[in-house]
Amino acid sequence: MKLDPAVVELLRLDPEHTTVSSAGGGGCSSASTSKITSKFRDGTEKSFFMKTGKGEDAEVMFAGEHTSLKAIYDAVPSLCPQSYGHGRFSTQPTTSFLVTDFVNLTSRSAPKSSAPSLAAKLAKLHTTPAPVPDGHDKPMFGFPVTTCCGDTPQDNSFEGSWADFYANNRLRFILRRAEKSNSVDKELHTLVETTASKVVPRLLGDDHLNNGKGIAPVVVHGDLWSGNAGVGTIGSDSGAQDVVYDSSACYAHSEFELGIMKMFGGFGGSFLKEYHDMCPKTEPTNEYEDRVKLYELYHHLNHYAMFGGSYRSGAVSIMKSLVRKYGE
């Protein structure tokens, strides 16, 4: 396979000493993946991971993933592969690409280097204040670009209030996506609206969290289930360590990260204990489980929007329990 000149230029490679082969896993339904291996003049080799996809959806997705990985890498460089850029092929302008470090994945039980654990790295990410976005005078909830959770392009418009962002840019937004793909469902619509208008301000209001001090935005991966984390090496000199990829980042409440973990089983009780030792639960801690359940809801609704079917019942069950407790 020949490497497109746009990628050669981005990475400043010698095409005569570069090979491209197929690689597994694309992180979404429409992406293809490749491994790029290039030999440099000093005799060293470096491998890159490339995703490609056609059309505007792929272009949006790769721009979002590049900015997501950059935000995570800037805060905790060892947590994810570095992204080198994205763009369009010069020979096929309808094909977009994203290029990152290549992660040589190993078994989760393989011996690791002395690098911090996934829990420690994630805790560091979640205790590092988010940057101030261009055009704003303080950190905001949202993200500079659209990011995709699965195949869903998310509305990351900046908000000063986390409760407003979660109610509008996540719950009401994904309800509209779900209704577009599955038709309007009166019970679901009413439950989402009640949750967004009553449960969210009750559980996530700035005047409620941390004894009225509110929460500071931090970078979250956004789609952190076990399939988007692994153990591997980047480059020839590094030992195996915990890494994450296929990110869908935004500046959010740290506990938002835990919603999809709960949905898909997470990383185990010892992981959460180690994580919370370094990144304490938000006050009031007696509502922690319900906040995580509220964050899990978004992912049930997103899966319902993407795949329909059985994901509706999980969303309805969560909302009914939260509405009974906080929304009546």
Residue 328 pairs in a beta bridge with: none
| Cα distance between residue 219 and residue 95, in whole Å | 29
Q: Any catalytic annotation for residue 223?
A: yes
Cα→Cα distances 225→147, 218, 230, 260, Å: 17, 18, 10, 6
Give the active site residue among 223, 237, 242, 290. 223
Check whether the bond before 144 is cis (ω within 30° of 0): no
Active-site amino acid positions: 223
